[in-house]
Amino acid sequence: MKIARSRIIGGAVLVGALALWAATAMRPTDQAPLRMGFQVCNSPAENRRRFTPLVAYLERELGRKIEAVHLDTSEFLDTAHQHYDLYHVNSLIYVNLKAAGAAEVMAGELQGDGGPNTRGLIIARKDSGIQTLQDLKGKRLMFGPMLSPGGYLTQYYAMMKAGLDPERDLGIYSFPPGAWKHEKVVYAVQYGAADAGAARYDDLDIMAKDFKIDPRDFVVLHTSPWVPWCTVAVSPKLPADLRNRFEKALLRLKPGVTADVGNERLDVLRWGEINGFAAAREADYDLVREMAREVRLPPYE
């Protein structure tokens, strides 16, 4: 009986030790935190709200603390911000990071009908009389952020391919100041501050769902091809085992998966306003590179 009892106690101790080891292995360790650079989409506050649950999920899955750094788009062109372990940026910024030897593509973020892709629209008010790209000659056009694939790059490229020189043929073009630039473009067109605007393919629908505009008030002059959108990338210096675990954590992230943030348990994808992640290839970014070369945007300026 004593031998049997000691075996039972010994087994229980072993099971308990293994459970403790497993739990500890899944918690962030005392190693230096990984740093993840997030490109600000609309505002820093919105970025933190959306992506803090994702960071908490990745910390749990990787067993490492992650320091999230939220930056304006152009800051990623500065070498001071090209040394992070992980990145969440748009496709044009990724092309720049790749050219600098600072990042390798991992996955594309899935959103809306485009999945991992986006495309740009050129819009005008339906009652403006503007119906084609050629009608933009002499008109005022407002772009979105200059380093945005869906708010500048695809639209500028489209005008060049249509034989228009935005530098000479437009009356003037401008960029909205401050945060929420994509919405400001649509409002500028709606209220007459611009004759036409460069919008992402889903801007009108998103704003309509929030009862901010009526999409029937607008006409679409041009729709670009699909190009990659929000991209998750890693430093080439990241150890292979950590890179593989990071990729697996992204690709198995499904609706309903939660992470603890403070005293709350939050749905990671729902808070991130995304549908998940899909594996991406370097060749997916060739069209972005072609457009950037034609428009002479970084890294081809």
Cis upstream peptide for 299 (omega within 30°): yes
Q: How many helices (H) and strands (E) does the chain have?
A: 10, 15
Predicted confidence at residue 28, as pLDDT, reads: 55
* pTM given for the model: 0.89
The answer as to whether 275 is a domain residue is yes
> Same structural domain for residues 181 and 40?
no
Predicted confidence at residue 30, as pLDDT, reads: 72
Assign residue 178 the CATH number of its domain: 3.40.190.10
Task: Please state the domain count of the chain.
Answer: 2
Last residue of a domain, one of 224, 259, 284: 224
> Same structural domain for residues 94 and 239?
yes
DSSP string, 263-289: TEEEEHHHHHT--EEEE--GGGGHHHH
User: Which phi and psi (to 5°) does residue 108 adopt?
Assistant: -110, 140
User: What residue ranges of the chain have pLDDT lower than 50?
Assistant: 1-6, 8-26
> Same structural domain for residues 124 and 218?
yes
Predicted confidence at residue 14, as pLDDT, reads: 45
Last residue of a domain, one of 175, 198, 224: 224
The answer as to whether 266 is a domain residue is yes
**Domain containing residue 72:** 31-115+228-295
